[in-house]
Amino acid sequence: MIRRRVVLASALLLLAVGVAPPASAVAQDGSVLTAGAHVYELTESARFILRGRRPSETSTSEFMGFVDPGTPPCPEIFAAPVPVLPPDGNGNPQRKCVVNMTAMDRISLVTGHGPISGRFTVVTADVINPAQVDAPETVVMQGTFLGQIDFSPALQSPPLPYGTVTGHLQSDEGERVEFFGVFLLPFEVAGVDVYLAYTLLSPDLQVLLSGTVVPVQPYERALQYPTARFDLYFLP
């Protein structure tokens, strides 16, 4: 993914650091659709091609994240308590599926557009040693994904640290689901690592910045680095 220190315009620097509502989409009838998955970029290896008429970036990234039960990548049977997440409203551990993803992309540094593809793997706890406390690892579902990136907001002047992806997931068993993704790059305001907060307008899937920022949470870090966050909305 596009990786660079994003210098925000003075208007964005005036944003108050506070907890915004969860990422959500508001339909024309007023109904609310929340993101069905949040995945985080743990590592990235990127190469930049700056010479010639088509400057671009190619990268391979490893993601890990959490998928809501009842969505196509997370049948209820695979969901399990996730102790690293905050408790739910009743004080109980949130039940999620854990997903690992490997993504490869090639993005134009002129337009911010390009393809992305890769594989996803849904995993659960170690069936041999369920008492272990490291990340889940037993494979229960695998598949591929394919899409198109639009990171033009991160290349505009002034730049905005987000982009979008339109694509689909397809399990190895053949089930396919379309998705729209919002990719959020972390940045710093007043010494605090944050993401932009937004609303996703439905049905046209337009990202509307809310004018606030959201602090990066402890579980949104990898070896203390704030991670880029990818919110996935599964479409009917």
229 and 222 Cβ atoms separated by less than 8 Å: no
Asked if residue 2 belongs to a domain, the reply is no
Residue 59 placed within a domain: yes
> Residue 54 above 70 pLDDT?
yes
- Model confidence at 14: pLDDT above 60: no
Give pLDDT tens digits for 95-140: 999 999 999 999 999 999 999 999 999 999 877 776 677 889 999 9
Domain span at residue 189?
10-234
Report pLDDT for 9: 40
Predicted confidence band of residue 18 (pLDDT cuts 50, 70, 90): very low
Q: Looking at the domain assignment, is residue 181 inside a domain? A: yes
Number of domains the chain contains: 1
Predicted TM-score (pTM) of this structure: 0.86
Region 219-228: mean pLDDT is 97
Q: In this structure, is residue 115 part of a structural domain? A: yes
Q: How many residues does the chain have?
A: 236
DSSP per-residue letters across the chain: ---------HHHHT--B--PPPSEEE-TTS-EEE-SEEEEEEEEEEEEE-SSS--EEEEEEEEEEEE-TTBTTB-GGG-EE-TTSPP-TTSPPPEEEEEEEEEEEEEETTT-EEEEEEEEEEEE--SS-TT--S---EEEEEEEEEEEEE-HHHHSSS--SEEEEEEEEEETTS-EEEEEEEEE--EEETTEEEEEEEEEETTTTEEEEEEEEEEPPGGGEETTEEPPEEEEEE--
Q: How would you class 143 by CB atoms within 10 Å of its CB: exposed for 0-12, middle for 13-18, buried for 19 or more?
A: buried
Q: Quick check: is 1 in a domain?
A: no
Tens digits of per-residue pLDDT, 153-199? 999 989 999 999 999 999 999 999 999 999 999 999 999 999 999 99
pLDDT over 90 (residue 64): yes
Please state whether 121 falls in left (phi above 0), alpha (psi between -120 and 50) or beta: beta
The reply to whether 3 falls in a domain is: no
Instruction: Tell me, yes or no, whether 4 lies in a domain.
Output: no
Q: How far apart are CA 236 and CA 234, in angstroms?
A: 7
pLDDT at 52: 81
Tell how far CA 98 is from the center of its chain. 13
* Token pair for 72: 């196509």
